[in-house]
Amino acid sequence: MAASSAISSSSFLSVSQKDAGVSSFYAQPSSSIQMSQKKVSKKIVSVMAPQQSERKPSTTGSVKTGMTMTEKIFSRAAEKPQLNPGDNVWVNVDILMTHDVCGPGCIGIFKKEFGNDAKVWDREKIVIIPDHYIFTSDERANRNVDIIRDFSTEQDIKYFYDIKDRSNFKVNPDYKGVCHVALAQEGHCRPGEVLLGTDSHTCTAGAFGQFATGIGNTDAGFVLGTGKLLLKVPPTLRFVLDGEMPDYLLAKDLILQIIGEISVSGATYKAMEFVGSTIESLTMEERMTLCNMVVEAGGKNGIVPADATTFKYLEDKTSLPYEPVYSDDQARFLAEYRIDVTKLEPLVAKPHSPDNRGLARECKDVKTDRVYIGSCTGGKTEDFLAAARVFLASGKKVKVPTFLVPATQKVWMDLYTLPVPESGGKTCSQIFEEAGCDTPTSPSCGACLGGPQDTYARLNEPQVCVSTTNRNFPGRMGHKEGQIYLASPYTAAASALTGFVTDPREFLR
């Protein structure tokens, strides 16, 4: 790749001119910017042209301001020592993810712009995960998986989680399932990195202390060819959650609380940083649920500082080195929200908006026609364990069709192998069976977003559904007049048992 000498033109580089003394250095093309695929130097070093003579510290102008985690990640990825929110910078991308719905479009753009014979920037940094419309007879959907397969073969993409035999997902050894859960389970999420994906819920990976956000086909096509993207540094909203997590609440309730507080556009163009004692007590999957829905508040990305929990999770998943970043003490936040989780109650998001917050107990007269437990938001192993806990506590059968859609093959296997605590050794699948739920189906995004008409559990009639998914706008799960209540796995399971929207404390106390 050509050295980016043209970056020197400051027409679009809006680096703050406050540091008057060093601004001239930003304007120079740094010959130390490496265009190779090597990992950028871990330390944030000053990007100075080598021919500079030694300068005394007193001539460098103002002291570096504290930066938030997100700003630091941008700073490292853009190879600039200091950044401010609002700056537009070219960042190096560590991982690019795409799936069967957007993959073909990206590929089309990549080929058109870079040429039919062009090669991707790094075959090991692209992860292609078919997951959206897999178990369907829709020809175009099936063709789209073929398209991404052909491309992966042609480009020798290292991580392509293929599926060929749709009739039985288990015979496809590479197939994973929902992209965001697969990315985590396969060790592609690492603290301090930049992960972009052609899906709005790519922000899920922020749980690992990295910058992760969703982009469109054109941007992704650009990244495919160059490994870089022009991004604007977002200001950060800080959410401090303290208090011991009550045992009837889950991360889903926390994020529904927050979205209800700031509205669906409350975090537009902003980073949402989650800190506090409660956050530290959350497992990785719970943190993923939290970060998953920041996009529902308009957020650019969600982020949780990496800690022992993160490192433990990553131990057996990735061998690539990573370096976490943390917000400085003097980092500037746009706003800070403090939440005492001990005061919260189980929530739902009523139709037709994720910010239409309501207390689960206040919706107890809302009859539900079905319950859906699945998706990147609420279809992970721990989500199913949570639902199983409620069914176990009740001992009764569900009153409405209850659809279970594990996010990935691994989750599916966990349902059939992991013992549920305090159940006498039963697995989730046994408990679900005894409760009368549907058999857990093939892992994929399923009906979270409706999909082709023959998608399992799709809302094809104007029914009420309590769902552990992430959006409930009109028509989200299929039918335009379908009424979707977003809820935690606890609340969803409780609702399945009564046939009405139900506060899980009915069963968990």
Name the minimum Å distance from CB 53 to another protein. 28
The answer to whether 298 contacts another protein (rule: CB under 8 A) is yes
Between CA 447 and CA 428 the distance in angstroms is 21
Q: Which are the contacts of 174, defined by CB distance < 8 A and separation ≥ 6?
A: 160, 161, 162, 163
The answer to whether 107 contacts another protein (rule: CB under 8 A) is yes
Name the minimum Å distance from CB 118 to another protein. 10
Between CA 350 and CA 112 the distance in angstroms is 43
The answer to whether 37 contacts another protein (rule: CB under 8 A) is no
Q: In this structure, which amino acid lies at residue 371?
A: V
Q: Which are the contacts of 395, defined by CB distance < 8 A and separation ≥ 6?
A: none
The label of the residue with tokens 């409760």 reads 435
Name the minimum Å distance from CB 211 to another protein. 14
Binding mask 225-244 for another protein (x = CB under 8 A): xx-x-x-x------------
- Stretch near another protein under the rule CB under 8 A, chosen from 140-148, 172-180, 246-254, 309-317: 140-148
Size of the chain, expressed as the number of residues it contains = 509
Name the minimum Å distance from CB 454 to another protein. 10
The answer to whether 277 contacts another protein (rule: CB under 8 A) is no
Q: How many CB atoms lie within 10 A of CB 13?
A: 16
- Nearest residue to 274 (alpha-carbon basis) of 260, 294, 250: 294
Among 42, 55, 140, 158, binds another protein (CB under 8 A): 140
- Stretch near another protein under the rule CB under 8 A, chosen from 9-17, 241-249, 359-367, 399-407: 9-17
The answer to whether 378 contacts another protein (rule: CB under 8 A) is no
Among 305, 440, 450, 489, binds another protein (CB under 8 A): 450
Between CA 185 and CA 207 the distance in angstroms is 13
Q: How many CB atoms lie within 10 A of CB 129?
A: 30
200 close to 297: Cβ distance less than 8 angstroms: no
Name the minimum Å distance from CB 4 to another protein. 6
Among 75, 152, 353, 468, binds another protein (CB under 8 A): 353
Q: If residue 347 lies in a helix (H) or strand (E), which one and from where to where? A: strand 347-349
Phi-psi bin for 191: left (phi > 0), alpha (psi -120 to 50), beta? beta
The answer to whether 474 contacts another protein (rule: CB under 8 A) is yes
- Residues of span 380-419 touching another protein by CB under 8 A: none
The answer to whether 88 contacts another protein (rule: CB under 8 A) is yes
- Residues of span 143-182 touching another protein by CB under 8 A: 143-144, 147
**Any alpha helices (H) in 172-245, and if so which ranges?**
179-185, 217-226
Name the minimum Å distance from CB 60 to another protein. 27
Nearer to another protein, 19 or 87 (CB): 87
Nearer to another protein, 1 or 49 (CB): 1
Q: Is 200 exposed, middle or buried (0-12, 13-18, 19+ CB in 10 A)?
A: middle
451 close to 459: Cβ distance less than 8 angstroms: no
Among 81, 105, 177, 446, binds another protein (CB under 8 A): 105
The answer to whether 350 contacts another protein (rule: CB under 8 A) is no
Nearer to another protein, 87 or 503 (CB): 87
Pairing state between β 370-374 and 402-405:
parallel
Q: Strand, helix or coil at 393?
A: helix
Q: Say which DSSP state 295 is in.
A: G
Among 218, 330, 342, 417, binds another protein (CB under 8 A): 218
Percentages helix, strand, coil for the chain (3-state, rounded to 5) are 35, 15, 50
Binding region for another protein (CB under 8 A): 1-2, 4-7, 9, 11-12, 14, 88, 90, 101-102, 104-105, 107-109, 112-114, 132-133, 138, 140-141, 143-144, 147, 198-200, 202, 214-219, 222, 225-226, 228, 230, 232, 264-265, 268-269, 295, 298, 300, 353, 449-453, 471, 473-476, 478, 480-481
